[in-house]
């Protein structure tokens, strides 16, 4: 039985077939099945909700409190503009950068690191400087970073053939011919990193909006990354595994589903440097990227006070129809705790929620509804395993922060306690990631909806038993977080297509600020879209500000 069949039969059919194959297994640890607010979110389109019973006027309304929405609020607040409100369906802000915590450690429920920002990512560097993590001039070529946020070594390793190796590109048992292909691939990516167009733009920049728009480069968006590799006569199985893993890890889809433009962007867009770290270093914390979302929210509160309303479902967006609505946009919010609907009239709407919601929520706007249908979303699963101590290792290797298993259905795990500045010998938390790319996105979402926590827990423990034979006995709790629409998949044609570009325009009183506008989910992209939307909004309102993007 191959991995695809295993996932379908075990992951979707239920626990019986999977648990029955283990004889008398160790009882599964307790835990919860968590995720986005499925019951509330699935009420869209919400025709059964009560009509508005009150109206509130808000000059600027931001829907979505992920990194895009929080970044928009951050830029408004930094510019001295306080007349805005951020609303979100969930009970807390952060989106894919939320975290949990127990008595042992904080741990991520989503994104877990930020690579050293490039010089083009000026708003990211500005934020890091404000948070005290980037030290000195944020515009410097090689700034310094707070050592507490630089990932401790060893940073990453790969488990293959019963042993660990440093780095993720397979090394043992790889012949001279394949190693030659490794070098050719590295040379091609280095050439793309150096390439500039006639306007001086990098071939692949971060944020992606600063990338070259040359026809030759955009043509790469019309074929898959796998097909591009084969066109370059790169057919090394190990190289293909590595590139496929990279696409799954960042985009939630394999190299045969991701466009070559997006695949190359992954390898060619980053050139961040630091005085006190190697260029491939990353910034991280036990709670993953929640330190960034929390920092954005804290900055907003310190400048303009509380501007966040959580537990609010935006279920209708339309041109204002209430008396005296004028050119305002009308947004209906369902407040489940109060069992009522609030009408918000706003002069400027920043939509920072995922774009797949647009056809369900927007009344009118036919072009936007059609454009949103061009998007495809990756289902994703994250599990946090609380362990009484770090597990034994079959190979006897020391633990690393990022641990990847070759030919695994998962993407590996990170260690929440790895950032402690002393050797950590006590209990720990492992955060396990899995992109459900073995099946179609719809099948993956159905699996997340239908399969019990015990199914996922069994599969995760079975996977991690390969390097860690005692992990079942040491795991005291295993919580599973489901995200059916975790990230937009940059399939061929999306990046260069008209549908994506439609969401990037500056509307009269509506603009979009989610990473989906870029076509893929990265912190840098979400923050750029949020800051850009805020600056465009300030300009429309005639407010003075200093750009964070220049």
User: Mean pLDDT of successive 10-residue segments in the chain (550 residues)?
Assistant: 37 36 67 80 72 95 98 98 97 95 95 95 98 95 95 90 94 96 98 96 97 97 98 98 98 98 97 93 95 98 96 91 68 95 97 97 94 97 96 84 95 92 76 97 96 97 96 97 96 97 96 98 97 98 96
User: What pLDDT is stored for residue 154 in this prediction?
Assistant: 81
pTM for this model (two decimals): 0.93
Specify the residue for token string 């647009």: 358
63 vs 378: CA distance, rounded Å: 22
The pLDDT value given to residue 2: 38
CATH architecture of 3-30+377-488: Alpha-Beta Complex (3.90)
pLDDT number for residue 19: 34
Q: What is the pLDDT of residue 40?
A: 64
Q: What is the pLDDT of residue 24?
A: 41
Do residues 234 and 178 touch, judged by C-beta distance below 8 A?
no
Compute how many other C-beta atoms are within 10 angstroms of the C-beta atom of residue 483.
Answer: 23
Q: How many CB atoms lie within 10 A of CB 512?
A: 26
Nearest to 316 by CA among 326, 331, 327: 331
The separation between the first and the last C-alpha atoms of the chain, rounded to the nearest angstrom, is 54
Contacts with 122 (C-beta within 8 Å, 6 or more apart), sequence order: 138, 139, 548, 549, 550
CATH 3.90.660 in the chain is located at 3-30+377-488
Q: Do the Cβ atoms of 541 and 59 come closer than 8 Å?
A: yes
Query: How far from 85 is each of 58, 358, 414, 419, 429, CA to CA, in Å?
Result: 7, 20, 35, 35, 35
How far apart CA 36 and CA 339 sit, in angstroms, is 20
Helix (H) or strand (E) holding 263: helix 260-268
CB within 8 A of 42, min separation 6: which ones? none
Q: How many CB atoms lie within 10 A of CB 18?
A: 20
Nearest to 252 by CA among 5, 490, 8, 463: 490
Q: Is the peptide bond before 207 cis (omega within 30 degrees of 0)?
A: yes
**pLDDT value of position 399:** 82
- Measured CA to CA in angstroms, residue 188 lies from 174, 192, 264, 279, 532 at distances of 20, 6, 9, 18, 32
Per-residue pLDDT, 39: 61
> How distant, in Å, are the alpha carbons of 64, 247, 285, 336 from that of 340?
20, 43, 39, 7
Positions of CATH 3.50.50.60 in the chain:
40-88+311-373+492-541
CATH number at 40-88+311-373+492-541: 3.50.50.60
């Amino acid at each position: 039985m191959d991995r695809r069949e295993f996932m379908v039969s075990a992951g979707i059919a239920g626990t019986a077939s999977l648990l029955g194959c283990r004889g008398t297994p160790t009882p599964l640890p307790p835990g919860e099945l968590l995720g986005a607010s499925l019951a509330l979110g699935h009420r869209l389109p919400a025709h059964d909700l009560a009509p508005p019973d009150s109206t509130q006027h808000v000059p600027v309304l931001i829907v979505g409190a992920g990194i895009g929405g929080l970044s928009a609020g951050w830029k408004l607040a930094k510019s001295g503009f306080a007349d805005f409100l951020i609303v979100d369906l969930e009970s807390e802000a952060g989106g894919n950068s939320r975290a949990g915590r127990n008595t042992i450690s904080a741990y991520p429920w989503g994104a877990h690191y930020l690579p050293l920002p490039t010089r083009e990512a000026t708003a990211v560097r500005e934020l890091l400087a404000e948070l005290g993590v980037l030290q000195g001039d944020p515009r410097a070529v090689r700034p310094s970073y707070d050592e507490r946020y630089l990932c401790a070594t060893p940073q990453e390793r790969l488990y293959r053939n019963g042993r660990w190796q440093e780095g993720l590109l397979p090394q043992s048992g790889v012949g001279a011919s394949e190693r030659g292909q490794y070098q050719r691939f590295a040379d091609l990516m280095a050439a793309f990193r150096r390439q500039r167009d006639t306007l001086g733009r990098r071939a692949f920049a971060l944020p992606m909006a600063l990338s070259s728009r040359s026809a030759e480069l955009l043509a790469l968006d019309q074929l898959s990354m796998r097909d591009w590799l084969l066109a370059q006569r790169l057919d090394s199985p190990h190289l293909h595994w590595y590139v496929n893993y990279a696409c799954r890890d960042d985009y939630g889809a394999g190299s045969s589903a991701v466009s070559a433009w997006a695949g190359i962007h992954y390898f060619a867009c980053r050139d961040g440097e630091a005085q006190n770290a190697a260029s491939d270093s990353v910034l991280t914390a036990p709670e993953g990227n929640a330190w960034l979302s929390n920092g954005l929210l804290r900055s907003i509160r310190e400048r303009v006070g509380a501007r966040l309303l959580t537990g609010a479902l935006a279920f209708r967006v339309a041109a204002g129809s209430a008396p005296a609505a004028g050119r305002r946009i009308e947004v209906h919010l369902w407040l489940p705790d109060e069992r009522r609907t609030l009408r918000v009239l706003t002069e400027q709407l920043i939509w920072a929620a995922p774009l797949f919601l647009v056809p369900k929520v927007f009344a009118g706007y036919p072009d936007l509804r059609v454009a949103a249908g061009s998007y495809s979303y990756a289902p994703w699963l994250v599990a946090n395993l609380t362990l009484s101590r770090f597990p034994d290792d079959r190979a006897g290797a020391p633990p690393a922060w990022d641990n990847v298993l070759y030919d695994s259905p998962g993407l590996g795990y990170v260690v929440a306690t790895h950032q402690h500045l002393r050797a950590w010998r006590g209990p720990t938390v492992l955060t396990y990631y899995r992109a459900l790319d073995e099946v179609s996105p719809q099948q993956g979402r159905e699996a997340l909806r239908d399969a019990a926590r015990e199914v996922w827990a069994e599969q995760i423990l079975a996977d991690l038993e390969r390097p860690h034979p005692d992990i079942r006995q040491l795991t005291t709790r295993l919580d599973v977080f489901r995200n059916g629409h975790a990230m937009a998949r940059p399939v061929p044609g999306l990046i260069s297509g008209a549908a994506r570009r439609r969401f990037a325009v500056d509307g009269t009183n509506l603009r979009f600020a989610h990473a989906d506008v870029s076509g893929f989910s990265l912190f840098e992209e979400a923050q750029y879209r949020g800051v850009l939307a805020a600056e465009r909004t300030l300009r429309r309102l005639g407010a003075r500000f200093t750009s964070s993007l220049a």
